[in-house]
């Protein structure tokens, strides 16, 4: 999800890029059920726990949700490339929760993979610490924060919401941010209610 922009490309910042280059990055491939895309997670070395959170949200939480909650996203899955690179970082310099990367703005990793595989690849990025702090409905969230398991349920829900939000932008680049955000807000509300009812 992002603030309205006029087609700007968001750089992770020179210092952050340098530190990340020194630390290195790891990758994890998430094999998804058909017709869902394979997700190639790329994250800073030593941040494997966030890869596990994304994997669990994608492979366990999403398929376990009630059919009406997931239905709006099922058609989108077949429109996505076979492989989507998901760049994970704690924060984006622009303060956005995530971005989809239009053709020509992909990372070196995504370009290299596309060249090696000879096919179309998609790429998005997610800022996991910004997502953890995100409160899309502050009043409702404040009331729910006292419930057992809220923080974990909120983070899992928010991570899945932003992931699907950016995948929708990737599948449907012509969809307006307002309509995508409206669907994302509704999804977040329904998933959080469902997860909290199970906690």
In terms of residues, how long is the chain?
Answer: 199
pTM for the model stands at: 0.85
Sign of CA dihedral 145, 148, 150, 155: positive
pLDDT of residue 195: 87
Alpha carbons 57 and 152: distance in angstroms, whole number: 11
pLDDT value, residue 140: 62
Nearest to 98 by CA among 125, 123, 129: 125
Give the sheet arrangement for strand 98-100, strand by strand: 25-30, 38-44, 83-89, 121-127, 98-100
Closest CA to 58 of 134, 164, 137, 150: 164
- 156's CB contacts (< 8 A; 6+ apart) are 53, 56, 57, 61, 195
H/E stretch holding 52: helix 48-56
- The Cα–Cα gap between 98 and 161 comes to 11
One pLDDT digit (tens) per residue for the chain, 199 residues = 555 444 555 555 667 666 666 778 999 999 988 789 999 999 999 999 999 999 999 999 999 999 999 999 999 998 999 999 999 999 988 889 999 988 877 888 888 888 888 878 999 999 999 999 998 876 566 556 666 678 889 999 999 999 999 999 999 999 999 999 999 999 999 999 898 888 6
Residue 6, pLDDT score: 47
């Amino acid at each position: 999800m992002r603030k309205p922009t006029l087609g700007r490309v968001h750089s992770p910042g020179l210092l952050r890029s340098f530190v990340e280059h020194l630390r290195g990055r790891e990758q994890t491939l998430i094999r998804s059920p058909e017709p869902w895309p394979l997700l190639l997670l790329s994250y800073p070395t030593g941040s494997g726990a966030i890869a596990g959170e994304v994997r669990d949200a994608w492979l366990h939480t999403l398929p376990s949700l009630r059919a009406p909650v997931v239905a709006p996203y099922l058609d989108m899955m077949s429109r996505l490339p076979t492989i989507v690179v998901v760049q994970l970082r704690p924060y984006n310099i622009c303060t956005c929760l995530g971005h989809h990367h239009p053709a020509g703005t992909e990372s070196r990793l995504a370009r290299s993979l596309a060249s090696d595989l000879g096919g179309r690849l998609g790429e998005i990025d997610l800022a996991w610490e910004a997502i953890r702090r995100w409160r899309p409905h502050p009043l409702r969230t404040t009331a729910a924060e006292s419930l057992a398991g809220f923080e974990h349920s909120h983070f899992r829900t928010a991570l899945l919401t932003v992931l699907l939000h950016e995948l929708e932008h990737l599948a449907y680049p012509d969809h307006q941010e307002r309509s995508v955000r409206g669907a994302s807000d509704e999804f977040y509300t329904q998933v959080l209610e469902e997860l909290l009812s199970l906690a």
